[in-house]
Amino acid sequence: MIRAAVIPEPHQPIEIRTFPEPEIEPGAVILKTLASEVCGTDVHLWHGRLSGVPYPLLPGHVSVGEVAATGGEVTDIEGATVRVGDIVTFLDVHETCHHCWYCLVGRATTRCPKRRVYGITYGAEEGLLGGWSERIYLKPGVKIVRLRQGVTPELWIAGGCGLPTALHAVDLAQIRLGDRVVIQGAGPVGLNACALALASGAGWVGVVDAAAHRLEAAKAMGADACIALEDDPVRAVRAATEGRGADVTVEASGNPAAVAQGCEMTRDGGRYIVVGQYTDNGPAEINPHLHLNRKHLSLQGCWGSDFSHFWRAMEILSRFHARYPWERIVSRRYTLTEIPDALSDVEARRVVKAVILPNG
């Protein structure tokens, strides 16, 4: 029998349930889970803040596993055969239809009505489709990527779902060599964005957060300046930029009030990426004249990521893991039965990233 941690319904205690060993269909893969994660979305799922979630839910959308069985010949995204013992990860987003207006014309696959996500929109009654489990069942067609040189399971989880998200944001930020960059928020997305901005050749990277231990992680990651939210970050950024403001700002805080402050931190004609507002935390005030029009601001909302970000995240981690200490994003490891602690630690921001080790 397979043990897994399940959210039975919103606000209810996590339960350890057992599932039968799944039967494998052609094209499917069964993984022995090596590592999964608790991210901010999991806290929202626990509190029932996302709509359309089929409880009971087996969470864990980014995970790494060792291949335990394959349903005949299965290939990874490079076309190489997947074999028992391979260490792989997979894209949690599954079954975008490639047939509707959003997939084909709008190129906004996150709006595809057939889109399903491991650990979020697949329910526990549909099988082992989340990472808080000793085994994960990869349905036929799930996109499989093997871990590259130097990328351990825990390092991949340290990047976690925040890394492709941050990569999408940093791509959109179009950082040029020497640009001065501010990251608002030093959570998993913000710390990844900090590393990626540095790796992109930013001339200066400042990180803003309210929590000292998060700013320490940013410092370890290489941030040039760690700015406490209470210390007038707009003034601090202007002081570091000859009074002009940042060339690029990336919002990764989830706080609606950060948006007006981010506009103010960015220079006239600068670029501002809003990637942290993943749940509806209510409205915010901005001044359209001062913050948008007069500033000639370029503001880009960034939602989700696609497979290209996931694939490139692996390349980037393999390339840069020795230069930027991604492992510092991981604050603590938890077994399946410790997941309630992990959820409350993430919620209270006591840890940056919680790693789940279902088999250990």
> Contacts with a copy of itself in 117-176 (CB under 8 A)?
141, 143, 167, 170-171, 176
Note whether 299 binds a copy of itself by CB under 8 A.
yes
How many CB atoms are closer than 10 A to CB 254? 18
Q: Which of residues 198-227 bind a copy of itself (CB under 8 A)?
A: 199-201, 203-204
Type of residue numbered 194: C
Near a copy of itself in 332-351, by CB under 8 A: none
H or E stretch including 165?
A: helix 162-173
Query: Other C-beta atoms within 10 Å of 207: how many?
Result: 30
Nearer to a copy of itself, 36 or 241 (CB): 241
Does residue 94 sit in helix, strand or coil? strand
Does 25 bind a copy of itself (CB under 8 A)? Our answer is no
Q: Note whether 73 binds a copy of itself by CB under 8 A.
A: no
By CB under 8 A, is residue 79 in contact with a copy of itself?
yes
Q: Specify the DSSP element, H or E, that contains 353.
A: strand 353-356
List phi, psi (to 5°) of 250.
-125, 120
DSSP state of 122: S
Query: Which amino acid does the sequence have at 274?
Result: V
Tell me the window of 65-73, 195-203, 212-220, 350-358 that interacts with a copy of itself (CB under 8 A): 195-203
Stretch that binds a copy of itself, among 30-38, 51-59, 154-162, 264-272 (CB under 8 A): 264-272
Name 359's Cβ contacts closer than 8 Å, sequence gap at least 6: 32, 33, 34, 134
* The one among 7, 196, 346, 352 contacting a copy of itself by CB under 8 A: 196
Exactly one of 303, 337, 340, 360 binds a copy of itself (CB under 8 A); which one?
303
- Exposure of 98 by Cβ count < 10 A (0-12 exposed, 13-18 middle, 19+ buried)? exposed
Q: How far is the CB of 204 from a copy of itself (least distance, A)?
A: 8
Among 301, 337, 340, 360, binds a copy of itself (CB under 8 A): 301
Neighbour count for residue 123 (Cβ, 10 Å)? 16
How many angstroms separate the Cα of 269 from the Cα of each of 245, 274, 293, 294? 10, 16, 10, 9
315 belongs to the binding site for a copy of itself (CB under 8 A): yes
Q: Which two tokens stand for residue 322?
A: 């020795």
Site for a copy of itself in 243-262 (CB under 8 A): 244, 251, 256, 258-259
Residue from 19, 46, 118, 278 that binds a copy of itself (CB under 8 A)? 278
Q: Which stretch binds a copy of itself (CB under 8 A): 45-53, 115-123, 149-157, 267-275?
A: 267-275
Smallest distance, a copy of itself to C-beta of residue 26, A: 15
Q: Which of residues 33-62 bind a copy of itself (CB under 8 A)?
A: none
Which residue from 274, 329, 330, 339 is in contact with a copy of itself, where contact means CB under 8 A?
274
Amino acid letter, residue 13: P
C-alpha closest to that of 185 among 218, 211, 158, 208: 208
**Half-sphere exposure at residue 42, Cβ-oriented, CA atoms within 13 angstroms:** 34
Token pair of 205 as six digits: 């990277």
Task: Region of 94 please: left (phi>0), alpha (psi -120 to 50) or beta.
Answer: beta
Stretch that binds a copy of itself, among 53-61, 129-137, 214-222, 266-274 (CB under 8 A): 266-274
Q: Which is nearer to a copy of itself, 189 or 236 (CB)?
A: 189
DSSP string, 253-268: S--TTHHHHHHHHEEE
* Closest distance of CB 153 from a copy of itself, Å: 20
When asked if residue 12 is in the footprint of a copy of itself (CB under 8 A), the reply is: no
**Least CB distance to a copy of itself at residue 2 (A):** 27
By beta-carbon proximity to a copy of itself, the closer residue of 5 and 197 is 197
